[in-house]
Copies of this chain bind each other. A is one copy, B any other.
Amino acid sequence: MSTGFSSSDDELVGQAERDVQTRLGGADVDVVALAAVSNIFRVANKARYHFERTVLGPIELSFTAFTTLWVLWIWGEQEARNLAVEAGITKGTLTGVVTTLARRGLVVRKPHLTDKRLVLIEATPDGAILMAELFPLFNAEEAAITERLSNAEKQALADSLRTVLRTIESL
């Protein structure tokens, strides 16, 4: 039986939060913030793993590679520096991801016309075709994991997360 951290049972999670207070002497713990933030990480971990196994697994694409290709598919050709920011990874990591995607013929690197420091990255036709097939499956899975939330709850969830995002950026 679980000790509670990984469980989604409310009572066990609540017990976990009380255990933290006990360990810290019962005071000075923002339990609500702890619950909100730790659940963000828990869900992100689990959802990422779920997507990699269900939708991305058969096509042998990592979550990060999918995100990178998705950005190129939606907004077209990007400078590497921008692409790294949009995909939420560092430029060093992007180099490896783009190399992996290029090896599979899903993206291509192109030189910038005027600034030789820059590298432009673009999805190939094959990359676009793959995304056109893959994204509906991905989105259907997004709908599936949120199906127990009402539309208003999903909206509120997205809004609260956007607020947290803004707060982190201002810190």
* SS of A interface (majority): helix
Residue A145 at the chain B interface, CB threshold 8 Å = yes
Query: Which residues of B are found within 8 Å of A169, using beta-carbon distances?
Result: 8, 46
Which residues A56-87 have CB closer than 8 A to chain B? Answer: 67, 71, 73-75, 78, 82, 85-86
Query: Which residues of B are found within 8 Å of A155, using beta-carbon distances?
Result: 32, 35-36
Chain copies in complex: 2
Query: In the bound complex, what is the Cα–Cα distance between A171 and B34 (angstroms)?
Result: 26
Among the stretches A20-28, A94-102, A103-111, A114-122, the one at the interface with B is A20-28
Query: Which residues of B are found within 8 Å of A24, using beta-carbon distances?
Result: 132, 135-136
The verdict on A82 contacting B2 (CB below 8 Å), with A29-B139, A37-B146 known, is yes
Q: How far is the CB of A129 from chain B (nearest CB, A)?
A: 13
Number of A interface residues at 8 Å Cβ cutoff, please give it: 75
Query: In the bound complex, what is the Cα–Cα distance between A151 and B30 (angstroms)?
Result: 10
A interface residues (Cβ-Cβ under 8 A, vs B): 2-6, 8, 10, 13, 16, 19-20, 23-24, 28-30, 32-48, 50, 67, 71, 73-75, 78, 82, 85-86, 88, 132, 135-136, 139-140, 142-149, 151, 153-158, 160-169, 171
